[in-house]
Structure 1
Amino acid sequence: MTVFERYLTVWVGLCILVGVGLGHLVPDLFGALGSAEIANVNIPVAVLIWLMIIPMLLRIDFAALGQVGRYWRGISVTLLVNWAVKPFSMAALGLFFIGTLFRPYLPADQIDSYIAGLIILAAAPCTAMVFVWSNLIKGEPHFTLSQVALNDIIMVVAFAPIVGLLLGLSAITVPWNTLVLSVVLYIVIPVVVAQILRRRLLAAGGPAALDRLLRVLSPMSLVALLATLVLLFGFQGKQIIDQPLVIALLAVPILIQVYFNAGLAYWLNRVSGEAHCVAGPSALIGASNFFELAVAAAISLFGFHSGAALATVVGVLIEVPVMLSVVWIVNRSKGWYERGPAVRSVSSNEEPAA
C-alpha cells in the first residue's frame, strides 16, 4: 500500500468532518449540487463514482470472464449472504435494537420508519464502492465484476418483494426508474467506457501504454472516493448535527450487521476452500450496501425528512470507515485464511492444472 492508502481512514474521517461542516456553513451550495438529479440519482455523485471505478475496470480483460466459473464457491456464498441472510438479519436487528432496546430514547412516531430505512439499506447490495474495496485487498477483479453484475440483475427482480415482505406491506412502490438508472450509471457506463479505452490503448501502444495510464489514473480512484464523501455528508450535514443521539443509536444495528455478514461470508468461503482473492471481495460484497439506491428509495417511499431517510444516511455515515476496517481485517488475516484445511486441499488439487 502507498502512504496515502495506508492512512486512508484518516483522510476519510477528515472528509466526513469537512462535508458535515460545509453542509452546515454553505447549505445553499450543497442544496444546488444535491438537486442536480435524474430520477433521484445525483449526477455529481455519479460522475465521481465513474472516476472511482473506471481505473479499476481498465484492468479487467473481459475475455477472461469465462474463467469466473471456477469461483463458484465464492459466488454461491455471496448470493446466500446478500439475499438469504442480510435483509432478514437486519430486520431482526432493527426490531431488537430500534423497536425494543432503544425505543425509550427515540421519537415514538419514527420507530417504524427507522426500522424501514434499515431494511431498505440492507436489501440493496453494494454496486460501485465494492470495486474500491476489492482493489484495496487485491481481490480477483473478474470475480468482483461478475458478482456485482449478478447482484444487479437479482436486485431488479428481488428488491421490491424482499422489502415489501419485511416491511409487512401488501404492496410497495419501488422507484424503478431510480433502480434501473442507477445500474446504468454505476455499472453499464463505466464498464463500456473502460473497455473502449482499454482496447484503444492496447491497439495503439500495447500493455505498456495501458500500464502508463493506470499509473496516472489509479490515485484518482481514492481522490474521487474522498470527494464523494464530502458531497454526501454536505448534503446531510444538518440532519447529522441536529440528531447526534439518534445517529449513534441507528449506527449500532448497522455496525453489527456489517461485521456479522462480512465474517459469515469470509468464514463460509474458508470452509468451502475458496481462494483468498475471492473470499475477500465476497465478504466485502456481502457486508456493504448500495447506499445511493437505499437513500433514494427511502426518500421516495417515506419522504426526505423521514426516519427511514435518516437511517439510510447513517448507513452512508459509517459505510466507508467500517468497510475500511473490514479491508484491514481481510488483509491481516490472509495467512490464517490460507492455512484452512479446505483451502489447502483445494489449492493442492488445482496445482497440477496450473
Structure 2
Amino acid sequence: MSDPSQFEIDRTYTGRWTVTFSNPPINMFVPATIVEMGSLMADLEADLSVKVVVFQSANPDFFIAHLDVARAAEQPEVLGLWRDVVLRLSSTPVVSIAKVRGRARGIGNEFLLACAQVKSQWRGIGVTLFVNWFVKPCSMALLGWIFIRHVFAPWLPADQLDSYIAGLILLAAAPCTAMVFVWSQLCKGDPYFTLSQVALNDSIMIVAFAPLVALLLGLSVITVPWDTLIASVGLYIVVPVIMAQLVRKRLLAKGEAYFQRAVAQLGPYSICALLATLVLLFAFQGQAIVREPLVIAMLAVPILIQVFFNSGLAYMLNRKLGVAHCVAGPSSLIGASNFFELAVATAISLFGFRSGAALATVVGVLIEVPVMLLVVSVVNRSQHWYEAGDSRKEQKS
C-alpha cells in the first residue's frame, strides 16, 4: 500500500510490524482510516514473514476515539468494509496486539475485541482473578485454622496464634504486583498479559483488600480496626498509584522517547529499592528468625501448601480452558505469589513490629523467592506436556 495518512507503519524488526494511529486531535476513525485499514489487512495477509502486528496510538489520551458518523454517512459503503476488516483481523494467523494507552470508544472497542491478544487473554485473566481473589485468601484462612489453631498449636506461643493467622491471611489477600514481572520473564510469559493482570489486580485491590481481610479475620474470630485497614490501602496502594500516574503523565508530555529513556534509567533504582525493602524486613525480624527456627518452619508449611496448590490449580484450569502457555505461566505465578510489602506494612500497622503477624508475613518473603523459582522451573519443564493437551483438542475437533 502507498504511505497511509491515518497511521504510520514501522517495519524495522523482521516479522513484526508496529502500526501507530495518528489522526489528531483524538484519533477519530474516518472513512479514509477504514479504507487504509483494508489495505493494511491485504498487505498483512500477503506478507507471510509477518508474525506479529502491534497497534498503538501517538496520542497518550486516546487510543481510538470513535467513528466520525457524519463523514461515514457520506460514504456508507465504508461500514461494510469495516465489518470485513474486523472479520479479517480476528481470523488472521498474524498475532495482533493492541498496546492501549488512553481511551477507546465505539469503533475502538470493536477493534480491540478483534485483536488476538484481547481474545486470547480473557480466560487467563478470569482464572487468575478466581484464584487470586477467592481461592487463595479462603484457602489460606482454612490452612491457618488447620495448622496454626490445631496441628501446630501445642508448639506455638498461645498468645500469638491469632496474630500468626492474621499474618497469613494478610499475606494471601494481596496478589503480587512487582516480582511477578520477573517470574513472567523467566517463564517466557506474555508481557502484555502480565501487565494487564497486574493493573487489574491493583484496581481491585484498592476496593477489595480491606473488606476481604476484615471478612476472613472476622471468620477467624480476629477483630481489627477498619480505619487502620483503610489507611493501609491508602498509604501503600492509592498514594503510590497516584504519584506514579502523575510522574508518568509529566514524562509522556515530553515525548514517548523521553519517557522510555526515563523508564530505562529508573529500572536499576527500582531493583535497589526492592532489595532495600527486603533487607529492612529481615533486619526487623532477624532476631526472631534466628531465635525461633521451629516457629518459622511451622509458619512456612501453610504458605508452601497454598503456593503449590494455587499455582497448580491456576495452571490446570488454564490448560483445561485452552489458554496459551505464555499466558498460563504468568497466570499461575500471579495466582501463587503475594504482595508482601503491603502484607508486612499492614501487619505492622495492625499488630506491631514484634508481632506474630509481622513474623508470619516475613516468613512469606523468606521462602517466596526459592519456591517461586521452583514453580517457574515446573512451568518451563512442563510446556511440552501443557501444549500436548491443546494438540489433542485440535485433533478431536
1:129 aligns to 2:179 (yes or no): yes
| Cα 1:165–1:79 shift into 2, 3 Å | same
Q: What is the CA–CA distance in structure 2 between the aligned matches of 1:139 and 1:73, rounded to whole Å? A: 15
| Cα 1:187–1:134 shift into 2, 3 Å | farther
| Cα 1:151–1:93 shift into 2, 3 Å | same
In the alignment, which residue of structure 2 is the partner of 1:141?
A: 191
| Cα 1:269–1:230 shift into 2, 3 Å | same
Kindly provide the amino acid, as one letter, of the partner of residue 96 in structure 1.
I
Which ranges in structure 1 are unaligned for 5 or more consecutive residues? 1-59, 350-354
In the alignment, which residue of structure 2 is the partner of 1:111?
A: 161
- 1:177 pairs, out of 204, 219, 231, with 231
Query: Could you report, residue by residue, the CA deviation over 1:115-174 in whole angstroms, capped at 9, with x for unpaired residues?
Result: 111111111111122122112222212211211121122222222222222222577424
In the alignment, which residue of structure 1 is the partner of 2:23?
A: none
More helix by share: 1
Query: Could you report, residue by residue, the CA deviation over 1:228-266 in whole angstroms, capped at 9, with x for unpaired residues?
Result: 433432332222112211111100100110010001001
| Cα 1:227–1:345 shift into 2, 3 Å | farther
What secondary structure sits across from 2:349 in the alignment? helix
C-alpha deviation, 1:180, in angstroms: 2.8
1:14-33 alignment runs, 5 A limit? none
In the alignment, which residue of structure 2 is the partner of 1:25?
A: none
Relative contact order higher in (CA < 8 Å, ≥ 6 apart):
1
Q: What is the CA–CA distance in structure 2 between the aligned matches of 1:345 and 1:190, rounded to whole Å? A: 44
Kindly provide the amino acid, as one letter, of the partner of residue 375 in structure 2.
V
In the alignment, which residue of structure 2 is the partner of 1:331?
A: 380
Q: What is the CA–CA distance in structure 2 between the aligned matches of 1:61 and 1:140, rounded to whole Å? A: 13
Q: What is the CA–CA distance in structure 1 between the aligned matches of 2:347 and 2:379, rounded to whole Å? A: 31
The percentage of aligned residue pairs carrying the same residue is 63
C-alpha deviation, 1:223, in angstroms: 6.3
Kindly provide the amino acid, as one letter, of the partner of residue 89 in structure 1.
S
- 1:101 pairs, out of 129, 137, 151, with 151
Query: Could you report, residue by residue, the CA deviation over 1:249-287 in whole angstroms, capped at 9, with x for unpaired residues?
Result: 100100110010001001100110111111111111100
What secondary structure sits across from 2:297 in the alignment? helix
Contact 2:285 2:354 (8 Å CA) reproduced: no
Q: Name which one, 1 or 2, has greater alpha-carbon Rg.
A: 2
What is the number of equivalent residue pairs in this alignment? 284
In the alignment, which residue of structure 2 is the partner of 1:89?
A: 139
Contact 2:171 2:340 (8 Å CA) reproduced: yes
In the alignment, which residue of structure 2 is the partner of 1:37?
A: none
| Cα 1:198–1:335 shift into 2, 3 Å | farther
Q: What is the CA–CA distance in structure 2 between the aligned matches of 1:218 and 1:225, rounded to whole Å? A: 11
Contact 2:210 2:230 (8 Å CA) reproduced: no
What secondary structure sits across from 1:292 in the alignment? helix
Kindly provide the amino acid, as one letter, of the partner of residue 314 in structure 1.
V
What secondary structure sits across from 1:304 in the alignment? coil
Contact 1:81 1:265 (8 Å CA) reproduced: yes
- 1:165 pairs, out of 205, 211, 215, with 215
What secondary structure sits across from 1:319 in the alignment? helix
What secondary structure sits across from 1:274 in the alignment? coil
Q: What is the CA–CA distance in structure 1 between the aligned matches of 2:394 and 2:175, rounded to whole Å? A: 31
The alignment's TM-score, normalised by the length of structure 2, stands at 0.63
In the alignment, which residue of structure 2 is the partner of 1:33?
A: none
Q: What is the CA–CA distance in structure 2 between the aligned matches of 1:265 and 1:61, rounded to whole Å? A: 25
C-alpha deviation, 1:81, in angstroms: 0.3
| Cα 1:91–1:227 shift into 2, 3 Å | same
| Cα 1:86–1:302 shift into 2, 3 Å | same
| Cα 1:146–1:198 shift into 2, 3 Å | same
C-alpha deviation, 1:200, in angstroms: 6.1
The alignment's TM-score, normalised by the length of structure 1, stands at 0.70
Which ranges in structure 2 are unaligned for 5 or more consecutive residues? 1-97, 105-111
Q: What is the CA–CA distance in structure 2 between the aligned matches of 1:62 and 1:162, rounded to whole Å? A: 30
In the alignment, which residue of structure 2 is the partner of 1:42?
A: none
In the alignment, which residue of structure 1 is the partner of 2:93?
A: none
| Cα 1:195–1:74 shift into 2, 3 Å | farther
Which sits farther off after the overlay, 279-288 or 224-233?
224-233
Kindly provide the amino acid, as one letter, of the partner of residue 165 in structure 1.
L
